[in-house]
Structure 1
């Protein structure tokens, strides 16, 4: 395991003071980078560990904040009160993504020409919105975040898109998956989707603690969580290889 350095980074976005987690690999030269978006519940240690794992592989990784102060919602209703207006406003999602991307690009170790965006739930939708906004990314990965966009904008995505979703996810239903696939195909995007059999929404996220309220249709699937992580790493190896 390589030695990495990590630090919390404060930055403004959406009228809030965000606190993200930056992980930088060993070495001195520039490296490919990954913008890492959180679930709708927000930023927590799971997201930080993902960033650290990517840095151990050799990527600069920035796990960005969604709700300000590095907040993680334990009450689903409070989370929905925050995320529902966000998800209805692509411009706000893009602003949050751009602010985080600015932090990642400002890191001297980041190679600005080799950046991928990977997100979970709301974070995955932000990654897609950055692509729809014409950001030059090498890859987009989204797990449980398959939002469709405004007509014509998806054609601005210029990189491969990988999507992962659970077959039993009531939020990302079969109809929702079909609409997403049709949009990607019509726009001429290089896309692929993996449906993990038997997995529900947020299957990738381990239980946090006994105080976390869990909605029906939401549940951890350890086997598919490991598989989805391997699929993300393989996407990065293909599109933003460590030796380019």
Structure 2
């Protein structure tokens, strides 16, 4: 099999110069593609590794930027950037649309077969893309049970899968209930997987900078959640054999 190829891609969004990470599968023809939204700190080797793993499976994969090339090591700095974003659906949609435009413009992308997955803030971007009516074939989110109103969620055109840790102090049972009730009332094809004993950001490997209580890596559930993401894509955005 031809080796995957990777490169940085630059584009504008949210008034910033963004730098995403594009991974291309072997071969030459157009095929299915996936947007990958990062955790709140921003694009790191974790997201780049996910893009490469999806390219190995046959997807054109773009890990998109949230912060103009910055990676926030301090939780306070991350929150100062992310909390206003999470409160502004228009900004989230703008970040997502800019990344989607980059992915769609890539010649290897089949524009009719694009999914979006995201973690934390990046998952909120994926959801808001769906609520903005983007022609996605699948949305997968982890730790991102953001609501937007029944009328807005009714614009989602594809299946939605969401994963959350049972012990997540941010994505509480009340937020799970509000999220699933909204999607149900909006007639969205939805699924929710609760990973027992997992906390917030459970798929994110240990990092060498401060974290906050309620955030913890869970290696077993991280592997299971990745398999669930890949299964969602395989169902809704299959790779040509």
TM-score scaled by structure 2? 0.98
Q: Unaligned 5+ residue runs, structure 2?
A: none
Q: CA deviation at 1:243?
A: 2.2
Structure 1 CA distance for aligned equivalents of residues 118 and 155 of structure 2: 19
User: For residue 56 of structure 1, what is the aligned residue in structure 2?
Assistant: 56
User: Is 1:219 aligned with 2:216?
Assistant: yes
Q: CA deviation at 1:2?
A: 5.0
Moved more, 2-11 or 198-207: 2-11
Structure 1 CA distance for aligned equivalents of residues 2 and 37 of structure 2: 23
Deviations 1:118-138 (A, max 9, x none): 000011111000000011100
Question: After superposition, where does 1:24-39 map in structure 2 within 5 Å?
Answer: 24-39=24-39
User: For residue 11 of structure 1, what is the aligned residue in structure 2?
Assistant: 11
User: For residue 122 of structure 2, what is the aligned residue in structure 1?
Assistant: 123
- 8 Å CA contact 1:121–1:145 kept in 2: the answer is yes
- 8 Å CA contact 2:2–2:27 kept in 1: the answer is no
Correspondent of 2:240 among 218, 224, 243: 243
Structure 2 CA distance for aligned equivalents of residues 148 and 176 of structure 1: 8
User: For residue 65 of structure 1, what is the aligned residue in structure 2?
Assistant: 65
Q: CA deviation at 1:207?
A: 1.0
Report how many residues are paired. Answer: 241
- Secondary structure at the counterpart of residue 125 of structure 1: helix
- 8 Å CA contact 1:2–1:56 kept in 2: the answer is no
User: For residue 199 of structure 2, what is the aligned residue in structure 1?
Assistant: 200
- 8 Å CA contact 1:127–1:140 kept in 2: the answer is yes
Q: CA deviation at 1:41?
A: 1.1
- 8 Å CA contact 2:89–2:128 kept in 1: the answer is yes
- Secondary structure at the counterpart of residue 101 of structure 1: helix
TM-score scaled by structure 1? 0.97
- 8 Å CA contact 1:22–1:61 kept in 2: the answer is yes
- 8 Å CA contact 2:149–2:182 kept in 1: the answer is no
Task: Name segments (4+ residues, structure 1) moved above 3 Å.
Answer: none
